[in-house]
């Protein structure tokens, strides 16, 4: 009989004794006390962990009276992304507000004290007169508006007018700059030569026009993620499009950060300049097997796979699957909406909450 039972009998005997000052205990209190004493006074053989044998041999095989320990395969999955290179397109409200600010600037420069900025008889004054004759106002890239004419009151944007579009603003600025770059003569007859202004690069690239999903020079205002196809899929299934994923190397006691760096190199080669963000995963997902695999020899039950998603950035270079270690056949750089249309429902639900909107 254990010490817990001895203590319980002593308390029960005292509660029944007429000479004891302790009030008697009811049956409910006695049963509760017995349960607590039994839990705290458990045998060390029942709670001690199973230690490996000194000889280094495997633990004894499972029997019908022992329960296997539960284990999972640990994998690292890499969210290698290219951040946005351009700001997003303006909304209609932002375009209207931008045009309003330009109109406001147009009113604030009226009247314009010309001779405070340009001296009489200088080339700058001649250039000023030429531009005022064309655009009727001191402000730039706002269209033609004459505040002192008959239509001076009519400063509203007409229906179908594209003056508020950013493309039109860029073209207006270029026209104004290109006129400054022409060769002309100042009042004294000297020839003035100025540099031609370079036009900005378009927002829509050649990769966008031809639909090249392997190019990093596409969707410049969105985040793109590297996905691969082929190799061994999750839980032995046929591998579809997914993020680069591989097992952690147990022999090296590999950390998630080290595993992420290794998987990137073994997937896309050494010609990518990448950076793994942090040592901790941003999310993890558990995939359970339909039928757990019991290893009776080593005494454990393999229940499934745990995949830890690590965040990384690509700074330069491009992926090359020629010598990859995982049997990947193809790769793409996809945005969030494209991932949703490419991934399976299970894989998409695992990562949809961690991907930014842009």
CATH number, position 77: 3.90.79.10
pTM for this prediction:
0.67
- 308 token code pair: 């830890």
186 and 216, same structural domain? no
238 and 125, same structural domain? no
284 and 211, same structural domain? yes
The answer to the question of residue 82 being in a domain is yes
74 and 221, same structural domain? yes
- Domain range enclosing 237: 69-86+204-351
185 and 150, same structural domain? yes
250 and 344, same structural domain? yes
The answer to the question of residue 153 being in a domain is yes
Q: Are 70 and 303 in contact (CB under 8 A)?
A: yes
* Coil/strand/helix, residue 177: helix
- pLDDT above 70 for 353: yes
Q: Tokens 């209190």 — which residue?
A: 29
185 and 132, same structural domain? yes
Q: Which of 132, 167, 192 represents a domain boundary (last residue)?
A: 192
Q: Of 352, 357, 358, whose CA–CA distance to 282 is shortest?
A: 352
Ranked by mean pLDDT, the top range of 24-28, 126-130, 191-195, 269-273 is: 269-273
Number of independent structural domains in the chain: 3
Q: Of 186, 170, 169, 197, whose CA–CA distance to 130 is shortest?
A: 186
- 284 token code pair: 């993890």
pLDDT higher at 114 or 67: 114
The answer to the question of residue 107 being in a domain is yes
- pLDDT above 70 for 47: no
- 281 token code pair: 């995963």
Residue 278 and residue 286: Cα distance in Å, rounded?
21
* Coil/strand/helix, residue 308: strand
266 and 183, same structural domain? no
Residue 151 and residue 136: Cα distance in Å, rounded?
12
Residue 243 and residue 284: Cα distance in Å, rounded?
13
Long-range contacts of 124-131 (CB under 8 A, 24+ apart): 126/186, 126/187, 127/180, 131/176, 131/179
pLDDT band (50, 70, 90) for residue 142:
low
Q: Which of 160, 192, 224 represents a domain boundary (last residue)?
A: 192
313 and 224, same structural domain? yes
pLDDT score for 16: 55
Q: Which of 192, 212, 246 represents a domain boundary (last residue)?
A: 192
Residue 345 and residue 2: Cα distance in Å, rounded?
56
43 and 105, same structural domain? no
pLDDT higher at 196 or 353: 353
Crossing angle of the two packed helices 3-16 and 27-40, in degrees rounded to 10 = 160
- 100 token code pair: 């309003």
- Per-residue pLDDT, averaged over 55-66, amounts to 41
Ranked by mean pLDDT, the top range of 58-67, 154-163, 268-277 is: 268-277
Residue 226, burial from CB neighbour count under 10 angstroms (0-12, 13-18, 19+):
buried
The answer to the question of residue 329 being in a domain is yes
341 and 210, same structural domain? yes
Which DSSP symbol is given to 321?
Answer: -
The answer to the question of residue 10 being in a domain is yes
The answer to the question of residue 61 being in a domain is no
The answer to the question of residue 62 being in a domain is no
- 218 token code pair: 């596409």
The answer to the question of residue 307 being in a domain is yes
267 and 218, same structural domain? yes
């Amino acid at each position: 009989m254990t010490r817990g039972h001895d203590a319980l009998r002593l308390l029960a005997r005292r509660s029944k004794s007429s000479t004891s000052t302790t009030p008697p205990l009811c049956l409910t209190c006695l049963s509760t006390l017995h349960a607590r004493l039994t839990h705290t006074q458990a045998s060390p053989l029942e709670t001690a962990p199973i230690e490996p044998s000194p000889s280094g041999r495997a633990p004894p095989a499972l029997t019908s009276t022992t329960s296997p320990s539960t284990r999972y395969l640990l994998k690292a999955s890499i969210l290698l992304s290219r951040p946005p290179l351009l700001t997003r397109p303006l909304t209609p409200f932002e375009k209207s507000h931008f045009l309003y600010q330009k109109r406001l600037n147009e009113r604030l420069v009226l009247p314009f004290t010309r001779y405070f900025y340009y001296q009489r008889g200088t080339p700058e004054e001649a250039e000023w007169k030429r531009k005022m004759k064309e655009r009727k106002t001191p402000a730039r890239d706002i269209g033609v508006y004459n505040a002192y004419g008959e239509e001076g009151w009519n400063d509203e944007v007409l229906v179908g007018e594209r003056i508020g579009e950013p493309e039109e603003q860029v073209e207006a600025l270029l026209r104004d700059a290109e006129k400054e770059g022409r060769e002309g003569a100042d009042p004294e007859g000297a020839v003035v030569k100025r540099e031609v202004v370079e036009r900005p690069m378009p927002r829509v690239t050649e990769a966008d026009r031809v639909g090249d999903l392997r190019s990093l020079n596409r969707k410049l205002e969105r985040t793109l993620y590297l996905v691969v196809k082929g190799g061994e899929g999750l839980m032995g299934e046929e591998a579809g499009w997914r993020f680069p994923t591989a097992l952690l190397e147990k022999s090296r006691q590999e950390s998630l950060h080290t595993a992420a760096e290794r998987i990137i190199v073994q997937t896309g080669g050494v010609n990518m300049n990448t950076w793994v963000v942090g040592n901790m995963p941003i999310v993890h997902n558990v995939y359970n097997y339909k039928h757990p695999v019991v290893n009776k020899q080593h005494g454990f039950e393999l229940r499934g796979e745990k995949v830890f998603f690590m965040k990384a950035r690509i700074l330069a270079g491009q992926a090359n699957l020629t010598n990859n270690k995982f049997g990947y056949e193809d790769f793409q750089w996809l945005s969030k909406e494209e991932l949703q249309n490419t991934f399976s429902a299970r894989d998409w639900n695992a990562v949809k909450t961690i991907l930014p909107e842009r």
